[in-house]
Structure 1
C-alpha cells in the first residue's frame, strides 16, 4: 500500500523558485558571470523557470544550457549506457571557463547525478565556480555533495520516494512524497 503526501503545490513551488532566483542573484552579485545549467529532464525545465524569474528581477536575460548526464553515470551497467548513449548531449552555447555555473536539478538524493553533471561540465572547461540549486533535498547522500540553493529540505526514509511533477512534463506542478509499505 502507498501513502502519498503533498510537499509542494503549484504556488509553493513558484515561491521556492522565486526565492532561489533571488539567492542566486545575491550570492553572485548579479548574473554577468553566471550560467544556469539544467540537468535533464526536470532540472532543465526548472532552470528555464529560474532564468525567466531572474530576467524579471534583473531586467536582463541570464545565460542557460542543459546537460544529459547518462554517459557520466557510475551506477548504470555498460549495456544500459550503450542502449542510452544516443540521448547523451550537452547543450551549452557558452564557454564555461572562468564562469560561475549553477547546476539545477529537481531532487538531490545520493549525489550521483550531481557528480555526473560535474564531470560533464568539467569536460567543457574549467569554471571559476560550480554551484548547485535543487527544488528538493531529501538527504541520504552517498557522496560529499551539498546544495547551495534548496527549495525545500525533506528528510526521508529509505522506503520513501519524492515525485516531482512539472507542468511542462506532467501537466501539473506538485511535489509528493510516496511512502511504500
Structure 2
C-alpha cells in the first residue's frame, strides 16, 4: 500500500483562490462606489453607451473563454473562480448603467442612489421585481431587456459551466477514493 506524499498546497490553493475572489469582488465594488457619477450619464451619452457596450462585450468574451476551458476540461485552469468574479462585474456594469440612466429625468422612478441601482440590478437578475423601482423611459427599458437577455445567455451558461466543473471534480474525486479503498 503506497500513499502519495502529502501535498500542503492542496489546502492552500482553495484558500488563496477564495481570497483572490474576495479581493477582486471587493475591489470591483469599491470602484463602483468611487467612480464619479458625472463620468457617465446624460451629459456624456456617447461615452456612457460606448463604455457600457464594451464592458459587457469584454465580460461576455471572458465568460465564453472560461466556459470553453470547462467544456474542454483544461487542466490547470480555474474557470469557476474567474466566472464568479465576472458575474459580479456584470452586475456592477448594469448597476452603473442604471444609475447613469436614472440621472436623466423620466427614465426611472425610485432609483436615486448607487445602492438603489445595485439593488435594482440584483432584483432584476433574480427576476423578483418588487415594483418599488421601475423603468419608465425607453432607454431604461431597453437596458432592462438587455440585462434579462444577457443574464439568460451568458450568466446562465456560466453558472452551468461552474456546476459542471464542480460536479466533474466531485465525481472524479469520489471515484478515486473508491478505487483507493478497493486497492487496500
Question: Which one has a larger percent helix, Structure 1 or Structure 2?
Answer: 2
By relative contact order (CA 8 Å, sep 6+), the higher-ranking structure is 1
Shorter chain as denominator, the TM-score bin is under 0.3
Q: TM-score, normalised by structure 1?
A: 0.25
Question: Which one has a larger percent strand, Structure 1 or Structure 2?
Answer: 1
> Could you say which structure has the larger radius of gyration?
2
